[in-house]
A = this chain, B = another copy of it.
């Protein structure tokens, strides 16, 4: 088994944090997406969608998509559970992981990809050149991301973690998103004290260094 990884990209980091929480060691190979290695023939045989991370199993079967890889390991190593234990907890974690992804990560990634010079002409992840940046998307993405943080702060006033009393994959998704925002110098706003408390608690976990 080998994990196709890249240290600077947010989605592989979600998997590394997840594995660290479960204390699972997986050999890794680096795919330098700054150099376009994700578009090379060898990698595209593993993932035609040209994104990292990819988990390659011993028989050559490849699983792409961060959450899909995490789910594979959750099934193989259920404890500590990061996707939930019963129907209600699983549903609640799925709900919060989706909110963190669709209303946090996706708009923030839009802001990053449509703003940083290095993504000029490739503003869509997994697609090569020919996709110019749209400045209005960077503005809208940031606007939506800030709204997400407000909602998160309200949620974290009620509960220690996104999905409730226990740390879950939803916290990993949200944490990696907040850290990704550093790329465009976007920090947690003053006054979001519940969010700041949660952020400090997650950053103090050993998995945050993964």
Residues of A bordering B, CB below 8 Å: 48-49, 55, 57, 61, 63-65, 67-69, 71-72, 75-76, 86-88, 90-92, 94-95, 98-99, 102-103, 106, 124, 126-127, 131, 134, 136-137, 140, 144, 147, 151, 154
CB distance from A96 to the nearest CB of B (A): 8
Known contacts A49-B151, A136-B137, A137-B137: A72-B91 contact under CB 8 Å: yes
Indicate if the CB atoms of A65 and B95 lie closer than 8 Å: yes
Give this chain's copy count: 2
Cα distance, A170 to B196, chains bound together (Å)? 36
Known contacts A134-B140, A140-B131, A147-B127: A67-B88 contact under CB 8 Å: no
CB distance from A81 to the nearest CB of B (A): 13
Known contacts A49-B151, A63-B92: A75-B86 contact under CB 8 Å: yes
List 7 A-B residue pairs with CB atoms under 8 Å apart, sorted by A's residue number. A48-B154, A49-B103, A71-B91, A72-B90, A75-B90, A75-B91, A127-B144
Cα distance, A99 to B49, chains bound together (Å)? 9
CB distance from A4 to the nearest CB of B (A): 14
Indicate if the CB atoms of B137 and A95 lie closer than 8 Å: no
Indicate if the CB atoms of B68 and A92 lie closer than 8 Å: yes
Cα distance, A143 to B71, chains bound together (Å)? 30
Cα distance, A72 to B95, chains bound together (Å)? 10
